[in-house]
């Protein structure tokens, strides 16, 4: 998209929110990330990025995506990695990454990660990769269900808060003993990103 352009249609992602919140895909300008006009923001992988928005203090806005034909499998280790951005003059926020399955209620997760104090781990004026990991034991009642990835943020300050993100990646690696029994190990890399 052109610099500064915004599109509210984001294929493949579902929005969940409380109150006045939304999700957009946009091409940031220098007002958002220095040097992004005409180029890729530092730490992102394209000129277009996602952003959730939450206007109300204390409320949440996020997105999720069910990964088709990627079931929770015993012995697999799943890693969700997402580039989270901290734009210039951002209102304090708290962001989260989570892995769950398609039948689990939003708010219930196999694993969930967020920093302990809002923006403390973000890199101002850039994107930075963060990951959450889960190894399936085989005892989960959700074995065989498709995985769901979730990214969301909470407004912890006055005024609206954005959580920009890009380049969401889910990898699934079999347990070493399972790979040896099968004769071959496989790496599944699913990239969900805006271009």
Domain of 146, CATH number, reads: 2.60.120.260
Across 115-137, average pLDDT: 84
Q: Does 158 have pLDDT greater than 80?
A: no
Closest CA to 16 of 66, 82, 86, 75: 66
What is the pLDDT of the chain when averaged over all its residues? 83
Q: Is residue 1 part of a domain?
A: no
Residue 65's domain comprises: 6-192
Which of 94-98, 116-120, 157-161 has the largest mean confidence?
Answer: 94-98
Distance (Å, whole) CA 29 – CA 48: 10
Domain assignment present for residue 48? The answer is yes
Across the range 94-108, mean pLDDT stands at 91
Q: With contact defined as beta carbons under 8 Å apart, do 31 and 6 qualify? A: no
pLDDT at site 62: 86
Higher pLDDT, 59 or 179: 59
CA distances from 116 to 45, 85, 100, 122 (A): 26, 17, 21, 12
Flag whether 84 is in a domain: yes
């Amino acid at each position: 998209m052109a610099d500064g352009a915004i599109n509210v249609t984001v294929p493949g992602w579902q929005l969940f929110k409380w109150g006045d919140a939304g999700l957009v895909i946009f091409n940031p300008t220098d007002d958002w990330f220095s040097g992004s006009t005409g180029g890729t923001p530092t730490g992102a992988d394209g000129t277009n990025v996602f952003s959730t928005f939450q206007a109300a203090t204390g409320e949440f806005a996020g997105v999720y995506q069910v990964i088709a034909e990627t079931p929770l499998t015993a012995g697999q280790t799943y890693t969700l990695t997402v580039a989270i951005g901290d734009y210039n003059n951002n209102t304090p926020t708290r962001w989260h990454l989570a892995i769950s399955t398609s039948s689990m209620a939003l708010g219930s997760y196999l694993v969930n990660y967020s920093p302990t104090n809002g923006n403390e781990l973000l890199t101002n004026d850039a994107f930075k990769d963060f990951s959450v990991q889960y190894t399936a034991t085989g005892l989960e009642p959700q074995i065989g269900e498709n995985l769901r990835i979730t990214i969301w943020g909470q407004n912890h300050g006055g005024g609206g808060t954005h959580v920009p993100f890009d380049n969401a990646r889910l990898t699934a690696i079999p347990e070493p003993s399972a790979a040896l029994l099968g004769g071959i190990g496989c790496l599944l890399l699913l990239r969900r990103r805006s271009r």
